[in-house]
Structure 1
Amino acid sequence: MKQTHGRVVHIETLTELDRRLDAGARRLASWRVHRLDLTERGGRLLECRVAGAAFLGCTFAPGDDDALSTMGALVLPVVGTTPLDVYRPGLYTADELYDQTPYLRSLDARAYAWAQRVPSRDDALAAALHDHAVSEALDAWVRDRRLVGVMGGHAVQRGDAAYAGAARLGWLLGSEYTVATGGGPGAMEAANLGGRLAGQGEEVLDRALDVLATVPSFRPSIDEWVRTAREAVAGLPARDNLGVPTWHYGHEPPNLFATAVAKYVDNPTREAVLLEVCRSGIVFLPGAAGTVQEVFQDACENYYADETSVAPMVLVGREYWTKTLPAWPLLRSLAHDRAMEDQVHLVDSVEEAAALFVAAG
């Protein structure tokens, strides 16, 4: 990583640490040294000016950590017994979460098992530190992107018309925006797939959907579900898109199509963050209680927003949102005579939904 004036330097490997020290670095105030075994590097570090440097989750020879603290460095130890890196500097990738096979050996599965047990005080602190780190990384990731969210049912299966529709929606939106979802299976996976393949021919999306349809669900085998996902996009360029899942629903694995994954331990934090980052608006596909909750969480934010802060809300499925789960009449009544009134829409197709955003883009 090239150091620039005033910018924090993240040190992620011993090779990078040694390279900088060998090159003559002695003032380490902007350094963030992350989760390294420094038991054999203490002597060199203690020769430097370390006031203002941070050592996050590192391992030291006895006494070195205290010496660095005395010299003005911030030394934060490993907390609890979590498999998660509580000081991680960036968002996850699917490959990080699915780092081992079978799935039960993966980081994602280990983290879910840890998150479901009764937490100790240290584990609760670890979860809070982890989620804070993810939020900071997410803030940086979204800064120069225009995100449109796609919310919908997790139970939609590959091969269904609803799945293909969600994928097409992501594909259409991805031409102008960055697609964001809850990062799970079903409509979320489909929208992330479409967002990932945006800009490529529609035949590319159709081929991917055909491959995925051979394994409709992550039940009974998450490993087969993952395998077909990798096969569906193998060798294809990937456009940036976002998933924001949670280990609270760890029995629903994260999909592999989001290029950046902001995975949280705490579900309420995750839900609030997901709505917050979708500043260009949200499309709501048919879903059950979770999707209805998201509709009215978003509506509450828009209800109190001024004219410059309202984000569009688009509900897809006139029959569904007026009769099956009639959220639309209440939403329209809520929006009446508010700044949000002209920004809530009910449409019949994903093409109509995407057109509202693309036209405004």
Structure 2
Amino acid sequence: MKCAIVRELDSLEAFLRQKGQLHCAVVQGLDFTDADINWQRLDFQGAVFLGCHFPKEVTADFLVEKGAVVFPQFPELPYNPYRNRLYARAELMEGWSAQEDRSVDKIIYDHFVKKGKSKADILESLAQRLHDHAIDDGVRDLLGGRIEEGGQKKVVGIMGGHGTSRDDPYFKKVVQLARLLAQQGYFVATGGGPGTMEAANLGAWLVDASDQEVERVIEVLKAAPHFESPGYMEAAQKVLDLHPEGGTSLAVPTWFYGHEPSNLFSRHIAKYFSNSIREDGLLAIATYGVVFAPGSAGTTQEIFMDATQNHYGTFDDISPMVFLGEKRYMEDTLLFPCLSQLADGRQYSEYIYCTDEIDSAVKFIEAHPPVKYVK
């Protein structure tokens, strides 16, 4: 049966609102074990169930006979391949203590490593891909306005070195940049790890904080400047104790680099197994621009990935590329002159900019909203 519109049902309330008419419905990760439902009266033709739990009397054979497609649960996994929402900080950190890291995040990472990471067997690989597909869906829900008020997000990505320490001047600059972007109505997205990524999510978290409060937070974090420093996570938790309520942003980390801690300052965490999907996807959703703070090889890779998307109009739109760090990008690496030469005569040549000034970076993004790529 062909479906003009596929309905995603990711809550019991949404399922019940269908009143038994489940044509073209995808039911994702729901637990029906204790739900009071007359299953005999439902119309399952064309319905798809992804990893749902059913009462004992509702078997897969029964559902298939009624016209449904059933994706079953995978046994003995520490993660849910069919999850119907993004991760939150509390979920991933559950089980963590300063004495021992038995967090959900660490347990999943250890499983990932044990299974060979990208060399996992066919069932584990399939489970990981289904999980990452579910995360993709969660990101679309968030950015499309289904999860929070305010409608569609105006996403600006912020990239930079994972090794940038909390006492580095650019850590503070990125905090201030992300805070100003959030105040101007943009939605900050990062790779979710330490360094520049932590600074960007922190800046969005502190959207309503005063300048003095921002200064105090940075001083607290400087006590454990690097993600391998003793007390690194405790310093971040101290900041959350000082500012338990903060602004919204997205972190997009990966278990491929699971030895690096996910930072604690994003409200939404889209954590992937596949690093390649995560990197390309993060740049793709940053439709209102990407800011590149100083970084090393990983940041350089992201610069040319983003340039490629603009160069060929991969996702139909062209968006700003802002280089934060004149010495780094104009002199030390020559990346900005290189990219300027590459873009010469092409549409996105007017969408690249290099500065050391926070206000100038934000004003450039405001003055250069995304435009349709013209062949």
**Fold match (TM-score > 0.5):** yes
Q: Quick one: percent identity of the two aligned structures?
A: 34
Deviations along 1:5-50, one digit per CA (max 9) or x if unpaired, are: x9644236xxx69x95xx9954455472625373x76984345333
Note if contact 1:80-1:122 (Cα within 8 Å) is conserved in structure 2. Answer: no
Match of 1:138 in 2: 139
Say if 2:335 is the partner of 1:327: yes
Give TM-score scaled by structure 2 length: 0.84
1:66 to 48, 56, 61: 61
Counterpart-to-counterpart distance in 1, 2:188 and 2:198: 11
- In structure 2, relative to structure 1, the CA distance for the partners of 1:280 and 1:77 (3 Å cut) is same
1:299 to 307, 332, 335: 307
2:213 to 204, 217, 229: 204
Local SS of the residue matching 1:174:
helix
* Residue pairs, 1:24-103, within 5 angstroms: 25-29=19-23, 30=25, 32=27, 34-36=29-31, 38=33, 44-60=38-54, 61=56, 64-79=59-74, 81-102=76-97
- In structure 2, relative to structure 1, the CA distance for the partners of 1:293 and 1:8 (3 Å cut) is closer
Local SS of the residue matching 1:188:
helix
Counterpart-to-counterpart distance in 2, 1:50 and 1:189: 45
1:238 to 242, 246, 250: 246
Calculate the aligned-residue CA RMSD, in Å. Answer: 2.8
1:275 to 283, 299, 305: 283
Please state how far the C-alpha of 1:340 moved relative to its aligned partner: 0.9
Q: Bigger CA drift: 45-54 or 116-125?
A: 45-54
- In structure 2, relative to structure 1, the CA distance for the partners of 1:64 and 1:197 (3 Å cut) is same
Counterpart-to-counterpart distance in 2, 1:8 and 1:271: 26
Please state how far the C-alpha of 1:93 moved relative to its aligned partner: 1.1
- Unpaired runs of 5+ residues, structure 1, are 1-5
- In structure 2, relative to structure 1, the CA distance for the partners of 1:305 and 1:76 (3 Å cut) is closer
Local SS of the residue matching 1:75:
strand
Match of 1:3 in 2: none
Please state how far the C-alpha of 1:351 moved relative to its aligned partner: 3.4
Please state how far the C-alpha of 1:216 moved relative to its aligned partner: 1.9
Say if 2:233 is the partner of 1:226: yes
Match of 2:344 in 1: 336
Deviations along 1:264-323, one digit per CA (max 9) or x if unpaired, are: 1001100100000000011111100000011111111111239x8221111111111123
Please state how far the C-alpha of 1:206 moved relative to its aligned partner: 1.8
Counterpart-to-counterpart distance in 2, 1:311 and 1:63: 50
Amino acid in structure 2 at the alignment position of 1:233: L
Amino acid in structure 2 at the alignment position of 1:315: F
Q: Bigger CA drift: 100-109 or 54-63?
A: 54-63
Counterpart-to-counterpart distance in 1, 2:18 and 2:332: 68
Note if contact 1:189-1:257 (Cα within 8 Å) is conserved in structure 2. Answer: yes
Q: Bigger CA drift: 164-173 or 193-202?
A: 193-202
Note if contact 2:26-2:48 (Cα within 8 Å) is conserved in structure 1. Answer: yes
Please state how far the C-alpha of 1:217 moved relative to its aligned partner: 2.7
Please state how far the C-alpha of 1:347 moved relative to its aligned partner: 0.9
- In structure 2, relative to structure 1, the CA distance for the partners of 1:146 and 1:48 (3 Å cut) is same
Match of 2:372 in 1: none
Match of 1:186 in 2: 195
Local SS of the residue matching 2:318:
coil
2:294 to 286, 295, 299: 286
- In structure 2, relative to structure 1, the CA distance for the partners of 1:24 and 1:62 (3 Å cut) is closer
Please state how far the C-alpha of 1:220 moved relative to its aligned partner: 4.7
* Residue pairs, 1:3-18, within 5 angstroms: 8-11=8-11
2:182 to 174, 187, 202: 174
Say if 2:326 is the partner of 1:318: yes
Match of 1:121 in 2: 122
User: What count of residue pairs does the alignment treat as equivalent?
Assistant: 347
Local SS of the residue matching 1:283:
strand
Local SS of the residue matching 1:84:
coil
- In structure 2, relative to structure 1, the CA distance for the partners of 1:8 and 1:129 (3 Å cut) is closer
- In structure 2, relative to structure 1, the CA distance for the partners of 1:278 and 1:270 (3 Å cut) is same
Counterpart-to-counterpart distance in 1, 2:277 and 2:332: 29
Moved runs in structure 1, 4+ residues, more than 6 A?
40-43
- Unpaired runs of 5+ residues, structure 2, are 1-5, 145-151, 370-375
Deviations along 1:199-225, one digit per CA (max 9) or x if unpaired, are: 43222222221222222233255xx43
Q: Bigger CA drift: 51-60 or 180-189?
A: 51-60
